[in-house]
Amino acid sequence: MDAPPLAGLNIVVTRPREQAAPLARRIEQEGGKPILFPLLEISPPADEQALSDAASHLAEFDLAVFISPNAVRYGMQAIRAAGSLPERLKIAAVGQGSARALRELGVKQVIAPQDRFDSEALLALPELQQVQGWRVAIFRGDGGRELLADTLKARGASVEYIECYRRSRPQQDAAGLDRSADIVTVTSSEALGYLWEMLDEAGRRHFAAIPLFVPHRRIAETARQLGWCDVVLTAGGDDGLVTGLIAWAKHRNQP
């Protein structure tokens, strides 16, 4: 009987603690050993009253966009506390992870890209081309890219950000990062930056020589600029990461 494809590999999972379990479970199912080392802490917004007020006025909007699964989690919690989603409100998500989270909460119609999971892919969809006069609410964390809002404004929409969670560097240091790791997975440029800041020069040399798996070209570009030697770009989400890990391991094990 053949060994599982990831057998013998120690794989660092850096997703926020609340989101790491599904990826860790998938790695275990394929024979790998996940090493949990969250690089982002997710917490409620600084101004929860502002989020509550915004959620109670969603009927005034034409479109609500959820940037991430965390935006879905905290945003929908506030929306449900205020009542429910207005029937006429169109719902969009940047990626399939967010779309899946919305569907799990009973939102049946979600505008979302099927392949690339970023603002560019969402903006390319036909449903977002004619938005003249629309009011758009973007549920997101504190800060982030401005491309989505800027492009929608250029197309004639008015846009309001609704901050529904905060991201921060976790209270840990690189001393807790297992040096026996064979692979590191990182799913945001912000998290990658925190990891690099934690490492001293010796740590940077060590980890920059380890394969780094990332699900977006922007993260890959950041990693190469920092000095990472072996960057593997995968498809998006946990499925993309696991598929990429398996393909890499099989290629590595070929005689």
Q: Are 249 and 6 in contact (CB under 8 A)?
A: yes
Q: CA 246: distance to chain centroid?
A: 21
Q: Are 155 and 125 in contact (CB under 8 A)?
A: no
Count of domains for the chain: 2
Do 155 and 56 fall within a single domain? yes
Which pLDDT score is estimated for 1? 64
d(CA 223, CA 138): 28
d(CA 130, CA 146): 19
Residue 3 inside a domain? The answer is no
Tell me the residue range of the domain where 96 lies: 43-168
**For residue 150, how many other CB atoms are within 10 A of its CB?**
12
Do 83 and 47 fall within a single domain? yes
* Last residue within a domain, chosen from 141, 168, 195: 168
Do 147 and 188 fall within a single domain? no
Residue 71 inside a domain? The answer is yes
Average of pLDDT values for 150-166? Answer: 96
d(CA 199, CA 166): 24
Q: Are 214 and 225 in contact (CB under 8 A)?
A: no
The string of DSSP codes covering 119-154 is: HHHHHTSGGGT--TT-EEEEEEESS---HHHHHHHH
The predicted-structure confidence for 23-33, as pLDDT tens digits, reads as follows 999 999 999 99
d(CA 85, CA 64): 10
Burial of 131 (0-12, 13-18, 19+ CB in 10 A): buried
Average of pLDDT values for 153-172? Answer: 92
**For residue 233, how many other CB atoms are within 10 A of its CB?**
16
Do 51 and 144 fall within a single domain? yes
d(CA 161, CA 45): 13
The string of DSSP codes covering 39-60 is: --EEE--S-HHHHHHHHTTGGG
Do 100 and 76 fall within a single domain? yes
Residue 4 inside a domain? The answer is no
Nearest to 37 by CA among 170, 150, 165, 161: 170
d(CA 128, CA 9): 43
**Confidence at 171, pLDDT banded by 50, 70, 90:** confident
Which pLDDT score is estimated for 249? 93
Q: What are phi and psi of 232, to 5 degrees?
A: -110, 115
Do 91 and 145 fall within a single domain? yes
Could you tell me if residue 242 is left (phi over 0), alpha (psi between -120 and 50 degrees) or otherwise beta?
A: alpha
- Give the CATH number of the domain where residue 110 resides: 3.40.50.10090
* Last residue within a domain, chosen from 168, 193, 222: 168
**Confidence at 159, pLDDT banded by 50, 70, 90:** very high
Do 190 and 235 fall within a single domain? yes
Total number of residues shown for the chain: 255
Residue 185 inside a domain? The answer is yes
The predicted-structure confidence for 109-125, as pLDDT tens digits, reads as follows 999 998 777 899 999 99
The predicted-structure confidence for 40-84, as pLDDT tens digits, reads as follows 999 999 889 999 999 999 999 999 999 999 999 999 999 999 988
Do 56 and 162 fall within a single domain? yes
Do 20 and 58 fall within a single domain? no
* Last residue within a domain, chosen from 123, 148, 168: 168
What is residue 193's three-state secondary structure? helix
